[in-house]
Amino acid sequence: MDVTIEQLLLGASILLLLSVLAGTASGRLGVPALLLFLAIGMLAGSDGPGGIHFDDPFLAQSIGVVALAFILFAGGLDTDWTTVRSQLGRGLALSTIGVAITACLVGVFATVAVGFSWLEGLLIGAIVSSTDAAAVFAVMRSRSVRLRDPLKPLLELESGSNDPMAVFLTIGLISLMTGASASVIDLVVMFLRQMVVGAAIGYGSGKLIVELVNRLRLEYEGLYPVLTLSLVLLTYSGSASLGGNGFLAVYLAGLVMGNRDFIHKRSLLRFHDGLAWLMQIAMFLVLGLQVFPSQLFPVAGIGLSFALFLMLCARPVAVFLPLALTTLSMREKTMVAWVGLRGAVPIILATFPLLAGLPQAPMMFNLVFFIVLTSVLLQGTSIPLVARWLRVDEPAGRLVNAPPARDVSGDLKSSLIEVTIPHESAAVGKQLLDLGLPKEALIILIGRKGRCFVPDGSTVLEADDVLLVSADRESFTLVRGILTESGEDRRD
């Protein structure tokens, strides 16, 4: 039966609406939103009441890869480098050594206990080796759970940086199984190339995006999100085309950009946050459609054994070994081990064997899907309880609400002061962004020739402008000097 575009739009809009409502309900139910998104996709599929037949691993993988690129970029944008910098060594150890240990242990279990071949077992281990802390933080926010430092920045860094390693291991093992790579040496070369090229392009792209956003005088503000969207796709595809890891590149690009000043920062952060939610919903719906629930029952027993081994053995070992020499307490390490939630990435990676035509690929996909569901149900819903049991959550009395926008100072001691720009000021003709104003100061309003307007980073100052500045006493002294100092004084 032919389907019209109107019917497609109707179905897509209903699924999106149901997903948004499910995301709202997830907080009350204490269930990660991704589980509800997957459930909606499964119910809409051919085995559910929706009756939508979808069996296209290539399309599911393509949507998942694009969605994951935008999700990782948004995650990088939202990561405060000053907070996670102290956890860099620990986070990288978990995202590399920890991922490799997980893949090896699950591979041994799959081979010895279940009967897969060594390469097949290691491939399953590689597919389920990365975590999805985004779902964890969603549960903690909805249940008013806050982890003490350094757990939150550590988990934040690990979740944003462990996907590239899992992708590399999955692709590398598939290339060995299909004959595309002749030896392990080829994989080592591939690993070095992916990480070096991906890191270099990601760092360079992050700086380039900031420069383009600040220097391109686009006529319409609505074009700036389009600009960043195109540059994210360019970063991923360019890195992948040159042999680099595209996921690492987009995460680093977002991390570099998010920790620099650029115009329309607040609106761009909100745009990419909303886009990341849209990508998550689309990705989980498509992955839910791709699976056939009737095919999960035959692998339920094996899948449960895999999930329990992963949660109770592989993940703890993969955490305790890399963090053995750190100052983290036993309770903190145990909490990190329990927050090893599996999410969308393993399901996306499970489509790679399907496209490669491996004999056990259908069973692997169903097995991975069941592992993810079990992980979300058991670990995701119990995180608040485990955090309280281990006493690693932040007491309610010490919780501090974050300021409403990242580029606005949260200092309540600030006061409003007017500054008039003199004709001889070196600030005349310059953008606000180029003046080097302290982050604690905020230009709220500018009066110019009888009218007032709210400025942004691209606003160019003119002589006789009257600026309404919010700043504390120390910052205001610096701001006044920058805005009123003449060019000759600055040269002297």
**Most confident option among 129-143, 156-170, 321-335, 387-401:** 321-335
CB 169 within 8 Å of CB 103:
yes
- Kindly give the interhelix angle for 118-127 and 99-109, rounded to the nearest 10 degrees: 140
Residue 125's pLDDT is 96
pLDDT of 12 > 90? The answer is no
Residue 169's pLDDT is 93
pLDDT of 405 > 70? The answer is no
By three-state DSSP, how is residue 468 classified?
A: strand
Whether residues 112 and 41 share a domain: the answer is yes
pTM higher than 0.85 for the full model?
A: no
pLDDT of 226 > 60? The answer is yes
pLDDT of 1 > 60? The answer is no
Q: What is d(CA 296, CA 45) in angstroms, rounded to the nearest whole number? A: 14
Domain span at residue 422 reads 415-491
**Among 398, 424, 449, which residue terminates a domain?**
398
Strands 451-453 and 466-471: unpaired
Whether residues 434 and 338 share a domain: the answer is no
pLDDT of 482 > 50? The answer is yes
Token pair, residue 246, equals 């595209």
Does residue 8 belong to any structural domain of this protein?
no
Residue 94's pLDDT is 94
Query: What is the SS3 string spanning 431-443?
Result: EHHHHCCCCCCEE
Q: What is d(CA 128, CA 317) in angstroms, rounded to the nearest whole number? A: 15
CA end-to-end span of the chain: 79
CB 237 within 8 Å of CB 73:
no
Whether residues 392 and 301 share a domain: the answer is yes
Whether residues 262 and 187 share a domain: the answer is yes
Q: What is d(CA 372, CA 366) in angstroms, rounded to the nearest whole number? A: 10
Range list of β-strands (E), 293-428? 415-420
Does residue 164 belong to any structural domain of this protein?
yes
Report the domain count for the chain.
Answer: 2
Q: What CATH number did the domain enclosing 116 receive?
A: 1.20.1530.20
Mean pLDDT of the residues in the chain: 85
Q: What is d(CA 255, CA 138) in angstroms, rounded to the nearest whole number? A: 20
pLDDT of 170 > 70? The answer is yes
Which tens digit of pLDDT belongs to each residue from 342-353?
Answer: 888 898 999 999
pLDDT of 148 > 90? The answer is no
Residue 138's pLDDT is 61
Kindly state the percentage of the chain with pLDDT values over 70.
90
Higher per-residue pLDDT: 395 or 190: 190
Q: What is d(CA 209, CA 424) in angstroms, rounded to the nearest whole number? A: 33
Q: What is d(CA 290, CA 288) in angstroms, rounded to the nearest whole number? A: 5
Confidence tier at 95 by pLDDT (50, 70, 90): very high
Give the Cα-Cα-Cα angle 475, 481, 487 (nearest 5 degrees).
150
Could you tell me the sign of the dihedral formed by the alpha carbons of 50, 53, 57, 58, in that order?
A: negative
Whether residues 120 and 265 share a domain: the answer is yes
Higher per-residue pLDDT: 182 or 80: 80
Whether residues 370 and 444 share a domain: the answer is no
Which tens digit of pLDDT belongs to each residue from 249-284?
Answer: 999 999 999 998 888 888 899 999 899 889 888 888
Residue 408's pLDDT is 43
**Among 353, 369, 398, which residue terminates a domain?**
398
Task: Report the range of poorest mean pLDDT among 103-117, 180-194, 255-269.
Answer: 180-194
In DSSP terms, 486 is beta-bridged to 425
Give me the count of residues in the chain. Answer: 492
pLDDT of 66 > 50? The answer is yes
What does the CA dihedral 141, 144, 148, 152 come to, rounded to 10 degrees?
Answer: -10
Confidence tier at 216 by pLDDT (50, 70, 90): confident
Residue with tokens 């000759």: 488
CB 418 within 8 Å of CB 469:
yes
What does the CA dihedral 287, 289, 291, 293 come to, rounded to 10 degrees?
Answer: 130
Widest CA span of the chain, in angstroms?
81
Q: What is d(CA 221, CA 20) in angstroms, rounded to the nearest whole number? A: 27
Residue 324's pLDDT is 92
Whether residues 462 and 374 share a domain: the answer is no
Does residue 4 belong to any structural domain of this protein?
no
Count of alpha carbons within 13 angstroms of residue 29, beta-carbon side: 14
For residue 71, which of 38, 34, 26, 31 has the smallest C-alpha distance? 34
Token pair, residue 29, equals 């139910």
